């Protein structure tokens, strides 16, 4: 067993009477590997048919699967097609348990690298707005990449302090996920760094941050809205303790019961003001299910508030550029013209109802479509990832096993067979099987590689 801090073990022994041995045993077991299917691109039924390795359903999500140790799903072209996200199985629970209706405004306050934001974006099905934020800019860049890979365009990706976001978005969101930074006790089996970063007062220090984050999140939630609070730690002070404090402070908040699932345990009233409602929370323990450990609580903001929406209106319509028109003719996906915005030659498709926000550090607002050059439009990688194979008139389909695909991901120019290039020239959507992975340009029997340098395999 890994060296675990003795203060941590002592507390776990107190927390888990009768279960402590099983809990310790779980550290000896191999850790389960999980992937979550991007149902915005493929149904679970279809994925089960084409999965290149054995998979087995994870009981507490509709689209999560275990895969065996020794497999490398991130090396398969389907990963580059955004068909799945690799995620620790218990970490799939929070986004799966925040109900979302397409068209809503959703905030993921601590979103990087996007394990939960990608699922929230899929649940919005292209309608409404996902604001995905992380205080760390480098982590927010990884978040943006994962959202792009998933083909999610109705986003505002920011790297802000929650306090600054709260000033811009008072009572704005229908749904909020607060997957709070925490002492990471649930990551000890998976990640030695989490053990090293732990110290006995860490849960108390984290709790102070979590209380403030939850306060700010509540201020951004519309009356009637739902907020899911989650952590990957076991410490009561960061879980039931935070929820109990929020219920004391905000009388408009109520806990909503999360559905039961095999292996889920209830929250513990004794760890949260002896409030029996704590049983509506869920704890995922590593000795009760095949996951590392998580906590989640679903809160509803009940009162009607007098506050007006203080966020700006959507933008007026603009005429479309001829170069864009030329590129998109024959494209089966229709883009609403009044949501297209260009600045300095770069072109975006804005989410409907994207407010005009100023003063925020924004990494991306909407779907990046590409760039207007002197006499043409050049499509960008996120646009390829947001299309499906049949939506662009010219495609080059490689079998997922074609040896040219890894070369494409390395940025190489590729030879095409006569039947692959026949009657085609110019921009082509490159696909692995039925799934787009990027752009190329057909020149005679050659595919000029347009896979961006920043996305290539090192
Ligand atoms: N939800 C993410 C996912 O599923 O991929 C994981 C989020 S991780 C548990 C917590 C995140 O909170 C980190 O990415 C970290 O950069 C961010 N964070 C740390 N301190 C913060 C703070 N004071 N305010 C907002 N975010 C913070």
Say which CATH number the domain at 297 has. 3.40.50.150
Q: Is the CB of 136 within 6 Å of ligand 1?
A: yes
- Sign for the pseudo-dihedral over CA of 71, 74, 80, 82: positive
7: in domain: no
Same domain for 341 and 442?
Answer: no
163: in domain: yes
436: in domain: yes
Q: Is the CB of 119 within 6 Å of ligand 1?
A: no
Question: What span, in angstroms and rounded, lies between the C-alpha atoms of 318 and 336?
Answer: 11
Same domain for 94 and 140?
Answer: yes
Task: Give yes or no for a contact between 214 and 229, defined as CB atoms under 8 angstroms apart.
Answer: yes
Same domain for 234 and 369?
Answer: yes
Burial-class residue 170 by CB neighbours within 10 Å (0-12, 13-18, 19+).
middle
Same domain for 63 and 170?
Answer: no
**SS3 assignment, position 417:** coil
Instruction: Give me ligand 1 centre to Cα 353, in Å.
Output: 26
Final residue of a structural domain among 364, 386, 408:
386
Residue minimizing CA distance to atom 16 of ligand 1: 136
23: in domain: no
Same domain for 110 and 259?
Answer: yes
Instruction: Give me ligand 1 centre to Cα 442, in Å.
Output: 43
Same domain for 246 and 122?
Answer: yes
Final residue of a structural domain among 23, 54, 86:
86
Residues across the chain:
458
Question: Within 13 A of 419's CA, how many CA atoms are on the CB side?
Answer: 2
Question: Burial letters for 293-327: b for 16+ Cβ neighbours within 10 Å, e otherwise?
Answer: bbbbbbbebeeeeeeeeebeeeeeeeeeeebbeeb
How many Å separate Cα 185 from the centre of its chain?
22
Question: What span, in angstroms and rounded, lies between the C-alpha atoms of 211 and 225?
Answer: 19
246: in domain: yes
Same domain for 249 and 335?
Answer: yes
Same domain for 393 and 380?
Answer: no
CATH at residue 46 = 3.30.70.1170
CATH at residue 419 = 2.30.130.60
- Told to judge if 331 belongs to the known catalytic residues of this protein, a careful annotator would answer no
Same domain for 343 and 393?
Answer: no
Instruction: Give me ligand 1 centre to Cα 457, in Å.
Output: 27
Same domain for 266 and 330?
Answer: yes
22: in domain: no
Instruction: Give me ligand 1 centre to Cα 292, in Å.
Output: 18
Q: Per residue of the chain (458 residues), give pLDDT as tens.
A: 568 999 999 999 999 999 999 999 999 998 999 999 999 999 999 999 999 999 999 999 999 999 999 999 999 999 999 999 999 999 999 999 999 999 999 999 999 999 999 999 999 999 999 999 999 999 999 999 999 999 999 999 999 999 999 999 999 999 999 999 999 999 998 888 999 999 999 999 999 999 999 999 999 999 999 999 999 999 999 999 999 999 999 999 999 999 999 999 999 999 999 999 999 999 999 999 999 999 999 999 997 554 444 454 555 556 678 899 899 988 988 888 889 999 999 999 999 878 878 899 999 999 999 999 999 999 999 999 999 999 999 999 999 999 999 999 999 999 999 999 988 999 999 999 999 999 999 999 999 999 999 999 65
Write the CB contacts of 186 (distance below 8 Å, at least 6 apart in sequence): 90, 231, 232, 233, 234, 284, 286, 292, 293, 294
Same domain for 71 and 217?
Answer: no
Residue minimizing CA distance to atom 1 of ligand 1: 111
Q: Is the CB of 110 within 6 Å of ligand 1?
A: yes
Same domain for 52 and 129?
Answer: no
Q: Is the CB of 209 within 6 Å of ligand 1?
A: yes
Q: Is the CB of 142 within 6 Å of ligand 1?
A: no
Determine the structural domain holding residue 272 and report its residue range. 89-386
379: in domain: yes
Q: How many domains does the chain have?
A: 3
HEC sequence for 363-416: EEECEEEEEECCCCEEECHHHHHHCCHHHCCCEEEECCCCCHHHHHHCCCCEEC
Task: Give yes or no for a contact between 344 and 334, defined as CB atoms under 8 angstroms apart.
Answer: no
132: in domain: yes
Final residue of a structural domain among 333, 359, 386:
386
Q: Is the CB of 179 within 6 Å of ligand 1?
A: yes
Catalytic residue (one of 110, 232, 281, 431): 232
Q: How big is the CA angle at 220 (ends 219 and 223), to the nearest 5 degrees?
A: 80
């Amino acid at each position: 067993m890994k060296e675990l801090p003795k203060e941590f073990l002592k507390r776990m022994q107190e927390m888990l009477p009768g279960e402590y041995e099983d809990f310790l045993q779980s550290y000896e077991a191999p850790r389960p590997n999980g992937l979550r299917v991007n149902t915005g691109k493929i149904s679970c039924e279809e994925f089960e048919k084409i999965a290149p390795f054995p998979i087995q359903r994870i009981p507490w999500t509709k689209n999560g699967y275990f895969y065996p140790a020794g497999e490398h799903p991130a090396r398969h072209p389907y990963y580059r097609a955004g068909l799945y996200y690799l995620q620790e199985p218990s970490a799939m629970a929070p986004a799966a348990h925040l109900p979302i209706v397409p068209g809503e405004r959703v905030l993921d306050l601590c979103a990087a690298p996007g394990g939960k934001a990608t699922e929230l974006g899929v649940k919005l099905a292209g309608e409404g707005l996902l604001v995905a934020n992380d205080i760390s800019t480098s982590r927010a860049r990884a978040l943006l990449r994962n959202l792009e890979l998933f083909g999610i365009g109705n986003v505002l990706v920011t790297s802000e302090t929650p306090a600054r976001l709260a000033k811009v978005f008072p009572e704005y969101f229908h749904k909020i996920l607060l997957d709070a930074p925490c002492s990471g006790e649930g990551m000890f089996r998976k990640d030695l760094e989490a053990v090293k970063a732990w110290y006995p007062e860490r849960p108390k220090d984290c709790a102070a941050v979590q209380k403030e984050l939850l306060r700010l999140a509540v201020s951004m939630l519309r009356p009637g809205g739902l907020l899911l609070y989650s952590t990957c730690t076991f410490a009561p002070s960061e879980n039931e303790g935070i929820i109990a404090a929020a219920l004391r402070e905000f009388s408009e908040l109520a806990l909503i019961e999360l559905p039961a699932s095999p292996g889920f345990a209830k929250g513990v009233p004794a760890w949260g003001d002896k409030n029996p409602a704590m049983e509506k929370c869920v704890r995922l323990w590593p000795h009760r299910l095949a996951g590392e450990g998580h906590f989640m609580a679903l809160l509803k903001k009940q009162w009607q508030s007098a506050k007006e929406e203080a966020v700006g209106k959507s933008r007026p319509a603009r005429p479309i550029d001829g170069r864009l028109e030329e590129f998109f003719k024959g494209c089966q996906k229709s883009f609403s013209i009044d949501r297209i915005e260009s600045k300095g030659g770069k072109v975006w498709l804005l989410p409907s109802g994207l407010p005009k926000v100023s003063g925020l550090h924004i990494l991306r607002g909407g779907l990046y479509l590409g760039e207007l050059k002197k006499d043409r439009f050049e499509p960008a990688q996120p646009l390829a990832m947001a299309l499906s194979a049949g939506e662009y008139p010219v495609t080059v389909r490689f079998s997922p096993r074609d040896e040219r695909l890894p070369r494409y991901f390395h940025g190489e120019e590729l030879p095409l067979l006569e039947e692959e290039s026949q009657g085609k020239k110019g921009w082509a959507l490159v696909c692995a099987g039925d799934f787009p992975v990027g752009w190329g340009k057909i020149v005679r029997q050659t595919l000029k590689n347009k896979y961006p340098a920043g996305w290539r395999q090192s």
